[in-house]
Amino acid sequence: MNIEQQQLIGGRSFGGHLDRRETSRFPVREDVRYRVLQSKSGQLSGAGKSLDMSSGGILFTTTERLQPGRLIEISVNWPARLDGTCALQLVATGRVVRSDNETAAVRIERYEFKTRASSLAVGA
């Protein structure tokens, strides 16, 4: 299928492949912490950066490959503040849908926003 055909049926092309996502992704670059909730080899957790996200999923950097199908909890520092002053964090639970040695994609099953503590100034 060429780009003109994709445009006729409402698809978007990324890297020559038709993007079939139902929700738009946005380039959000924020700190991420994750932990695998179903790990047979003990507690698996790490940190990275979000690359893009939507209401249905998130793509982020990892330091290791995460096994597809695993349930994972992700915490993302949210770029907006509540009432312009209170820092927020998106906490989501979902399943790893694909992963390589540098990135993982997670389908979000549920999420909530939480307030997060401000960093204390050192020496204050």
Query: Residue holding tokens 């209401």?
Result: 55
**Domain membership flag for residue 4:** no
Alpha-carbon distance of 23 to 26, in angstroms, equals: 10
**Domain membership flag for residue 86:** yes
Alpha-carbon distance of 11 to 4, in angstroms, equals: 10
Tokens standing for residue 47: 């940190």
**Domain membership flag for residue 18:** no
Cβ neighbours for 84, distance < 8 A, ≥ 6 positions apart: none
Alpha-carbon distance of 66 to 44, in angstroms, equals: 9
pLDDT digits (tens, 9 = 90+) for 71-107: 999 999 998 888 988 999 999 999 999 999 999 999 9
Share of the chain above pLDDT 70, in %: 73
Report the alpha-carbon angle 23-84-30, nearest 5. Answer: 45
Beta-bridge partner residues of 106 = 58, 96
Alpha-carbon distance of 35 to 48, in angstroms, equals: 11
Predicted confidence (pLDDT) at residue 13 exceeds the cutoff of 90: no
**Domain membership flag for residue 59:** yes
Q: How many domains are there within the chain?
A: 1
Which pLDDT score is estimated for 44?
Answer: 87
Tokens standing for residue 106: 């997670």
The CATH number of residue 97's host domain is 2.40.10.220
Q: Which range of residues forms the domain containing residue 75?
A: 23-115
pTM to 2 decimal places: 0.72
What is the average pLDDT across 20-49?
Answer: 84
Tokens standing for residue 7: 């445009």
